[in-house]
Chain A
């Protein structure tokens, strides 16, 4: 405990922030339209103007997409940290709470009703995700307190149920099947500022785990011990679970289901900066954003004019890195 509490957070955060900065510049400078650095600099300095195609590529396509990838990566990584540490389960990712499956159900309903090109899709996904969180929440409440293990089981069960309904809808809405499959795969293609605006709503929620950093550190030793140490366990859990649920629902609603970042980024960061949340939360946020940014950069450039689904890239980038760090970490 004492070691954790006194680990200084700033060097790690500064390093992660500079990595993210490099990713930001790279993501804006590189792209399938091969804008020259001159054109990019000109677009940056003139701001968004109409009547200039490369300006439109920069301001309307590349920049919002990069920002969206960063936001979604950060959201999933922070949600991953919260849920892994609340559930005390290393295999937890933002999708076990059933929120993503609920969001997928909402989006599928949007597709079946042919609302795919309207902000409705994101709104329906958000509603689906939050409704699922509510159901899971109610299932897990016993005499005023939340049983984490019941919550986990209820989440997984609701996730299966929602997936089953999605499958039924896919079969019924035969020719919409591809749209649903593509949505489930997750992508930043065709997303613009309207999705960025939705993703920005997550910003205040990303601060919540920082506020509860000390409580989260103590909760790692179990709820009983935390109670003895004077932590308001139920209030903390409530705030954190809602936060993780909202972050996941927002991320899924704008990008579909993109795996691996929420599972692996918290682990990678834990291996690098340790389990103290004062470092773990902000560094995970930044690394999650950077990893998703790089994955999307590769996704849109490697086989242009085609795109590789970004979830595939996150796995390709993340899996070898994670295995390497695990091997290294296990020798500590």
Chain B
């Protein structure tokens, strides 16, 4: 192999590296523009109607309580049923499975890709959407003149605020207040039980291949903290990041909780390679939790929070 033109090679490589660098800069710039979420309960029951601010920061105003609601996420559907407005729900998504009545609703498509036409065909006066994956859809719906409320709570308290707001919008504030009080009571009970205990290092597995966890800016992270744990996943960043198995072993959590349901069954966790050496497995502090109790920002988070607390601090509940 001759090197008659050693300069041309590096030049091409440098050009390539420049392109890659530009792409990297674009990527960083892209991820820098985060979204702010501040659902506020400054609902003004003024004579003119109902006004609330959703999790995307948009103001949603209705002249009278919604009568024809379309839900675009399983959690949203659960909330509507919980506040007692289930009879006003015209349609949901194909993944709605709770409560039982939700399964019988007409479907507007999938959570990630609902059909705009189908939504419009129900002529809804309120659409309950989520952020992220549905952001592109929102503009289309708003262009069609629909009132869209975005549910994207990032903490346990934010879920309670969201439920209050949905209660306002559907004219069922009383029952919404009951639901929220129940959630608050669950939180108070948990805090009374575990608040004074040392936080236990907890790893929450969302998925195993690759290993994924819940990071900061998620209500799961918030709930682990309320339940008296420190979330190892927080060190991997926000959202639902992947997580190095080696770091999991180095950190050696006291409690290992695997989420089961929507993504996969975790299988026999203690039998996984090397897991027998983890303190959590040695001490029997390895648990499986139903996905919809911790990953769906709805009223059942109260139950999820209590289960988390019992898993993270069994001693506080006399179950150990």
Contact = CB atoms under 8 A, between A and B. Distances in A.
Interface of A: 31-34, 50-53, 55-57, 59-62, 64, 111, 114, 116-118, 171, 174-179, 182-183, 187, 189-194, 271-272, 300, 304-307, 316, 319-320, 323-329, 331-332
Interface string B262-292: 1111110000111011100000000000000
B22 interface: no
Contacts of A32: 244, 246-247, 250
A178 B211 CA distance: 13
B235 interface: yes
A189 to B, nearest CB: 3
B245 A116 contact: no
Contacts of A183: 209
A33 B236 contact: no
B249 A328 contact: no
Given A117-B209, A306-B243, 19 more contacts: A33-B244, A57-B246, A61-B246, A61-B273, A116-B265, A117-B267, A118-B267, A174-B110, A177-B112, A178-B263, A187-B210, A190-B210, A192-B273, A306-B242, A307-B243, A320-B17, A327-B9, A327-B13, A328-B9
28 contacts: A34-B250, A56-B249, A56-B276, A61-B274, A116-B208, A117-B266, A175-B95, A175-B111, A178-B263, A179-B207, A179-B264, A182-B210, A190-B208, A190-B210, A194-B273, A271-B1, A300-B246, A305-B236, A306-B237, A307-B210, A307-B242, A307-B244, A323-B12, A323-B16, A324-B9, A327-B8, A328-B5, A331-B8
A62 B235 CA distance: 21
A323 B15 CA distance: 10
Contacts of A177: 112
B1 A332 contact: yes
Contacts of A272: 1
B5 A331 contact: yes
The majority secondary structure among interface residues of chain B is loop
Nearest 3 interchain pairs by C-beta: A60-B274, A189-B210, A192-B273
Contacts of B249: 33, 53, 56-57, 61
A57 B274 contact: yes
Contacts of B3: 328, 331
Contact of B264 (A56, A116, A307): A116
A320 B13 contact: yes
B243 A305 contact: yes
A114 B12 contact: no
Contacts of A331: 2-5, 8
Contact of B207 (A60, A178, A305, A306): A178
Interface string B38-70: 000000000000000000000000000000000
A55 B274 CA distance: 9
Contacts of A319: 16
B112 A174 contact: yes
Contacts of B236: 305-306
A305 B215 CA distance: 11
B136 interface: no
B250 A111 contact: no
A320 B16 contact: yes
Given A116-B265, A176-B263, A324-B12, A189 B110 contact: no
B34 interface: no
A323 B13 contact: yes
A113 to B, nearest CB: 10
A182 B206 CA distance: 13
Contact of A57 (B16, B95, B111, B250): B250
A327 B9 CA distance: 5
B96 to A, nearest CB: 11
A32 B236 CA distance: 12
B20 interface: yes
A328 B1 contact: yes
A14 to B, nearest CB: 18
Contacts of A31: 246
Interface in B15-31: 16-17, 20
A189 B113 contact: no
Contacts of A300: 244, 246
Nearest to A53: B277
A33 B246 contact: yes
B86 interface: no
B252 interface: yes
Contacts of B241: 306
B114 to A, nearest CB: 11
A51, A61, A183, A325 — which one has the most chain B CB atoms within 10 A of its CB?
A: A61
B294 to A, nearest CB: 14
Nearest to B240: A178
B11, B236, B245, B247 — which one has the most chain A CB atoms within 10 A of its CB?
A: B245
